Chain A
Amino acid sequence: MDLGPYLLLASLEGAITASILALTAVGLSLVFGVMRVVNVAHGEFFMLGAVASWFVATYLGTHPAIGFIAALLIAPLLVGALAATADWLVLRRINYDPERTIVATIGLLYILQQGTLMTFGPDARPVEPPFNQRLAIPWPSFEGGFHLTWPWGLGTTSYKLFIIAAAITILFGLWVLMSRTKIGLIMRATQLDRDMAQAFGIPVERVYALVFGLGAGLAALAAVLIVPVQQAHYLMGGDPLLLSFIVVIIGGLGSLPGTVIAAVLIGLSDGIISVFFSPTLAKILATLLVALVLVFRPQGLLGKRIA
């Protein structure tokens, strides 16, 4: 296969990484933006989404599509409710103090991870995709006039394309929620000035619980989408957490559009570099990019410089 088809294949894999990363990182960014909480346990909410998806699909035991749709609805709600409860029981009690919330969410990370190990076990478990047709991708050729060829190995699956479409739809839905609804207005007002939000009747602590639940729910949703490709495992939260932090820092802390742009950049470069070189090099370059951003543009791509 020539370079062109390889590049297309790598970009497709990168687009899938970008889609999952965008959903996960937007959740992290939302929590930081509104609550000023650095949620170190965010990757564990991703992991819980994958595990919950396995439980729902396994115990429902019907057609994979029914199990998948049920998981798509139940897992984010369950994980979101768990996160909101954690906010109520832990973060609220320490008054959302930035330093103490970092320690608290590290504790939460271990509780969730070890709790999952005790109940779900140490094995990686697959979830069957709802559909998975193999799709060959045509490639234009100009030798002897224009015609389409079907290079061997240049293809994807319908489910992988579905992941990309689903992520775009969910992100569009989130944009509508934030910019066109009353609850979005309340969240943005709380983000801009907590005291003034309270002075104007906004129950900030309830908004925080909602935002923490929504952030975790988005991570869980991303995990439900990827688990038919990746398998559920109790240690799977580490990579999404690291990449989400990278994306959020590059995009600009608390900036949702910046986060999406950075997720696309990091996801695509991760896919392409992983295919042509190695996944480790992709992570090294992403981390290097963070270092450069912190030195030359500390506020990130679309973040605001703090005076």
Chain B
Amino acid sequence: MLDLRGISTGYGKAQVLFDVSFTVNPGEVVCLVGRNGAGKTTMMRAIMALLPLWQGEVEIGGKPVSSLPAHCIAAEGLGYIPQGRRLFTELTVQQNLDIGLMVSGGGEDMLARIFALFPRLEERRLQRAETLSGGEQQMLATARALCTNPSTLLLDEPSEGLQPSMIALVREVITRMRAENMGVLLVEQRVDTILSIADRVVFLENGRIAETADIATLRAKPERLNGYLGV
């Protein structure tokens, strides 16, 4: 379980997040929704300790991790798929996955599971990441995060710039991870994706939680989403 309590942070003297608290339970998909600049990516970076917290606490499975250095967070069970994928572009597919496997200590068994999920990556194993298509790069970013064997997966706009078939694949993977009892925190702008896979939606506005809604309520009144999306 990922538990965020009273998170405040920012860049330099500019505060971006103000006292943000919510929880991602195992087997639950929580969508973080907000306009550009609302603080969604900052939230993800703060959880991964890539941005120091000004206030608040992050707990993973009941263990406080805010005082840990950034390189220790992945080993606590957080897998991160950043916005824009940020692959190690000059490394091969295999080497990108090896970096993920270093966290979990996983071997051929885990790699076989990953390749079963993304067969195309196995075909491209020795290809440099920068030569993959956008969809394949998203597969690799997801696979690299799954190689760390996370209990909670953080995805920052995974469907951005992808063709519909790839978006469907991303949704399928998230659904499958939820079925395996993994918690998922998803930053997403697509209404159809949010409505089809989220269990709960946290609306972020100007760095504060504006409201939280369960998906049944939103499916009944999807227009509520529109106020929090877009530029």
Q: Do A and B bind each other?
A: yes
Which residues of the other chain, A, contact B75 by a CB distance below 8 angstroms?
201
CB within 8 Å for A185 and B103 given contacts A196-B82, A198-B70, A199-B73: no
Contact yes or no, B148 A200, CB < 8 A: yes
Contact yes or no, A202 B99, CB < 8 A: yes
Interface size on A, residues (CB 8 A): 17
Task: Give the nearest-CB partner of A200 in chain B.
Answer: B99
| Cβ of A188 under 8 Å from chain B | yes
Task: Give the nearest-CB partner of B154 in chain A.
Answer: A199
Which residues of the other chain, A, contact B88 by a CB distance below 8 angstroms?
188-189, 192-193, 196
Pick from B89-97, B115-123, B158-166, B216-224 the stretch touching chain A. Answer: B89-97
Taken together as a complex, chains A and B put the C-alpha atoms of A195 and B95 apart, in Å, by 17
| Cβ of A203 under 8 Å from chain B | yes
Which residues of the other chain, B, contact A197 by a CB distance below 8 angstroms?
71, 99
| Cβ of A209 under 8 Å from chain B | no
Q: Which of B92-150 contact A (CB under 8 A)?
A: 95, 98-100, 102-103, 144, 148
CB distance from A29 to the nearest CB of B (A): 15
| Cβ of B74 under 8 Å from chain A | yes
Contact yes or no, B73 A192, CB < 8 A: no
Which residues of the other chain, B, contact A200 by a CB distance below 8 angstroms?
74, 80, 99-100, 102-103, 144, 148
| Cβ of B86 under 8 Å from chain A | yes
Which residues of the other chain, A, contact B103 by a CB distance below 8 angstroms?
200-201
Give the number of A-B contacts (CB < 8 Å): 63
Contact yes or no, B86 A203, CB < 8 A: no
Which residues of the other chain, B, contact A195 by a CB distance below 8 angstroms?
50, 70, 86
Taken together as a complex, chains A and B put the C-alpha atoms of A188 and B70 apart, in Å, by 18
| Cβ of B48 under 8 Å from chain A | yes
Taken together as a complex, chains A and B put the C-alpha atoms of A173 and B148 apart, in Å, by 30
Contact yes or no, A203 B91, CB < 8 A: no
Task: Give the nearest-CB partner of A206 in chain B.
Answer: B71
Which residues of the other chain, A, contact B91 by a CB distance below 8 angstroms?
185, 188-189, 192
- Which of A192, A197, A200 has the most chain B CB within a 10 Å cutoff? A200
CB distance from A45 to the nearest CB of B (A): 27
Main SS of the interface on chain A?
helix
- Which of B48, B80, B90, B99 has the most chain A CB within a 10 Å cutoff? B99
Contact yes or no, A198 B71, CB < 8 A: yes
| Cβ of A204 under 8 Å from chain B | yes
CB within 8 Å for A199 and B69 given contacts A192-B90, A192-B91: no
Contact yes or no, B50 A198, CB < 8 A: yes
Task: Give the nearest-CB partner of A179 in chain B.
Answer: B95
Taken together as a complex, chains A and B put the C-alpha atoms of A202 and B90 apart, in Å, by 17
Which residues of the other chain, B, contact A202 by a CB distance below 8 angstroms?
71, 99, 102
CB distance from B176 to the nearest CB of A (A): 22
CB distance from A203 to the nearest CB of B (A): 5
Contact yes or no, A199 B89, CB < 8 A: no
CB distance from B152 to the nearest CB of A (A): 13
Taken together as a complex, chains A and B put the C-alpha atoms of A192 and B130 apart, in Å, by 12
Q: A-contacting residues of B (Cβ < 8 Å)?
A: 48-50, 69-75, 80, 82, 86, 88-91, 95, 98-100, 102-103, 144, 148
Apart from the given pairs A200-B102, A203-B69, 12 other A-B contacts in the complex at a CB distance below 8 Å: A182-B98, A185-B95, A185-B98, A189-B88, A192-B90, A195-B70, A196-B88, A199-B73, A200-B100, A201-B72, A201-B148, A202-B102
* 7 closest Cβ pairs, A-B complex: A198-B70, A201-B103, A201-B74, A203-B71, A192-B88, A198-B71, A199-B80
What are 21 residue pairs bridging A and B, where the CB atoms are less than 8 Å apart in the complex? A182-B98, A185-B99, A186-B102, A188-B88, A188-B90, A189-B91, A192-B88, A192-B90, A193-B88, A196-B86, A196-B88, A197-B71, A199-B48, A199-B80, A200-B74, A201-B71, A201-B103, A202-B71, A202-B99, A203-B71, A204-B70
